[in-house]
Amino acid sequence: MNDRVVSQTEDLDLLWRVRQRDPEALARLYDRYGCAAYGLALRILRDPEAAAEVVQEVFLRLWQRPDHYDPLRGTVATWLLSLTHHRAIDLVRARRRQGQAVLALAQADGPTDAETALAELAWLQERRQAVRQALAELAPVQRQVIELAYFGGLTQREIAALLGEPLGTVKTRLRLGMQRLRSLLAARGMVETDD
């Protein structure tokens, strides 16, 4: 058995013990993935305190709802990092919305500025939705490496180490995933084609 299979088997055992309310199992999972989760959150947030809070929330969620893990969607490690990524991105978005609201109030000169801001916001939301839909259409292994690279801020080498995959495999998945994503977005009129 390779190290990845052994690690996943051990993680599943620890997760089962967390479901049985074993705090030692939670501590062992934290020892395994706390640093990686913190590094991911820190890359996204660029704020050590906020990154630590995100990791604390992720492991609290793991303790409260360990049954939310779905082995068909990836490893325990991938699931924990995905939770970390989503929570950190949510925090970035909340901060951005708060900052935009303050900026909009400070810069509002009249209805023309407000109309322009609303149009830009609608356009951005449309693009985000298109990207989300296109990502959902990718193969799960391609979506996973794209999310870890572009939303998680991990290098290809870090992704390979995290997933226990060869670097060449990660590079190929990322390249093919980005090509497919570009094609899907071009079909939606969100990016220009090269022809």
Mean pLDDT (the chain, rounded): 81
Sign of torsion over alpha carbons 98, 81, 28, 34: negative
Please state the domain extents for the chain.
1-107, 109-195
% of residues, the chain, pLDDT over 70: 78
Residue 82 has what pLDDT?
87
Using one digit for the tens of pLDDT, what is the confidence trace for 49-71?
A: 989 999 999 999 999 999 998 88
What are the structure tokens assigned to 192, written together? Answer: 């220009």
Which position has the token pair 């939770």?
Answer: 83
What separation in angstroms does the CA of 59 have from each of 10, 133, 147, 151?
17, 28, 20, 20
What is residue 4's predicted lDDT score, i.e. its pLDDT? 61
What are the pLDDT digits (tens) for 129-141? Answer: 777 788 889 898 8
Question: What is the residue-wise DSSP string for 15-67?
Answer: HHHHHTT-HHHHHHHHHHHHHHHHHHHHHHH--HHHHHHHHHHHHHHHHH-GG
pLDDT of residue 18: 94
In words, the CATH class of domain 109-195 is mainly alpha
List the structure tokens of 134.
Answer: 């296109």
Q: Residue 183 gets which letter from DSSP? A: H
- Of 152, 88, 97, the closest CA to residue 121 belongs to 97
CA distance 191 to 138: 17
| pLDDT, tens digit (0-9, with 9 covering 90-100), for 100-127 | 555 555 555 544 555 555 666 666 677 7
Helix (H, G, I), strand (E, B) or coil at 17: helix
CATH of the domain spanning 1-107, picked from 1.10.1740.10, 1.10.3720.10, 3.10.20.440, 2.30.110.10: 1.10.1740.10
Handedness of CA 69, 17, 34, 88 (dihedral sign): positive
Greatest alpha-carbon span in the chain: 67
